[in-house]
Amino acid sequence: MTTHREGTFVEGLWVEPAQLSSETAPTVAEVGCTSAPLESMAFHFASFCKKYNDDYVKCKNESQDPKHCLKEGRKVTRCALDLIGKLKENCDAQWTKHWECLDMNNHTLFKCRKEEKEFNDCVFKRLGLTKVIPETPEGATPIHLKEKPLYK
Amino acid sequence: MPHARQRWLVPLEPLFPLLVIGAVGTVMRWGVAKYQKYENFGKPKRWSVDRWDRRMMERDSRLTGNVNFQRAEIEAPQAFLTNSAWELERPFM
């Protein structure tokens, strides 16, 4: 947005007065996690909600209009809320430790491998999800499983 | 004329000033880190922030009031549905 400038004499932030009417969009609650928890559960979300995510991406590829993909978006949101509930119930301590570590380290994943390993083990044990990095070449260990990632 | 004898094989004389410079540099880096932690509620500053991170941080500030606070609840607060990060400017000129 090249036309944006910082406001001078700012007196608060804009709050939208109108709500979505219930005919166009029955509201589903928004996901209440900020960036660090979302980043640490991102790969598990990808495998847990794969079909809804693929639907939404295919729908978005058809058109960029926000009104076009509201239904698929709501399904994705419901699946995400479901997963967050399950994580809080089962693996809350490990998840919290991992995202707090990410928070202290500029949200870089490579600094927090130990906590990530504990979190992934807990999630695999309780929920059966593994973290899969989509485009690893055949036969190469994914980077989060390498013992010495800095060596060739 | 005989050659002057070298005083030491390894130059020990500049060692002390180097230690002083090292100490001053370390204190400076520690001080800057402490000040940044004080400004950012106990965390180091975010660096190499790209457009994705800026938009996620803006979403964070709408959820919790400040970019430095994180929360891990299931549902968002009601105010999140209608708030924004657009600044309201008092008309002048």
Inform me whether the pLDDT recorded for A125 exceeds 60. Answer: yes
Cα(A72)–Cα(A53) distance, integer angstroms: 8
Q: Looking at A9-23, A80-94, B37-51, B77-91, which range is the least confident one?
A: A9-23
- Chain B residue nearest residue A89, CA to CA: B74
Q: Which of A13, A37, A81 sits opposite B88 (nearest CB)?
A: A13
Split at pLDDT 50, 70, 90, the class of B26 is very high
Q: What is the pTM of this model?
A: 0.81
Q: How would DSSP label each residue in A33-83?
A: E-HHHHHHTHHHHHHHTHHHHHHHHHHHHH---GGGGHHHHHHHHHHHHHH
Taking the CA of residue A139 and the nearest CA in chain B, the distance in Å comes to 31
Region A52-63: mean pLDDT is: 94
Exposure b/e, A11-43, CB count within 10 A at least 16 = b? eeeeeeeeeeeeeeeeeeebbbbbbbbbbbbeb
Region B35-53: mean pLDDT is: 91
Inform me whether the pLDDT recorded for B82 exceeds 90. Answer: no
Say what the pLDDT of residue B31 is.
95
Chain A contact set for B46 (CB, 8 A): 106-107
Tokens of A134: 């989509």
Higher pLDDT, B6 or B28: B28
Higher pLDDT, A23 or A44: A44
**Per the CB < 8 Å rule, is B56 touching A95?**
no
Say what the pLDDT of residue A23 is.
66
Inform me whether the pLDDT recorded for B8 exceeds 80. Answer: no
What is the residue extent of each domain of chain B? Answer: 15-68
Inform me whether the pLDDT recorded for A58 exceeds 60. Answer: yes
Higher pLDDT, B58 or A20: B58
Split at pLDDT 50, 70, 90, the class of A2 is low
Higher pLDDT, A145 or A3: A145
Q: Is A11 on the interface with B (CB under 8 A)?
A: yes
Say what the pLDDT of residue B75 is.
87
B 4-43 residues inside an 8 A Cβ radius of A: 43
Q: Is A10 on the interface with B (CB under 8 A)?
A: yes
Taking the CA of residue B27 and the nearest CA in chain A, the distance in Å comes to 21
Say what the pLDDT of residue B65 is.
86
Say what the pLDDT of residue A30 is.
87
Inform me whether the pLDDT recorded for A116 exceeds 80. Answer: yes
Chain B contact set for A7 (CB, 8 A): 87-89
E-only strand ranges, chain B: 72-75, 83-89
A151: Cβ contacts below 8 Å, ≥ 6 apart? none
Q: Please give the share of chain A, as a percent, with pLDDT higher than 70.
A: 93
ipTM of the complex: 0.82
Chain B contact set for A16 (CB, 8 A): 82-84
Q: Please give the share of chain A, as a percent, with pLDDT higher than 90.
A: 58
Q: Which of A26-30, A64-68, A128-132 has the highest mean pLDDT?
A: A128-132
Inform me whether the pLDDT recorded for A26 exceeds 70. Answer: no
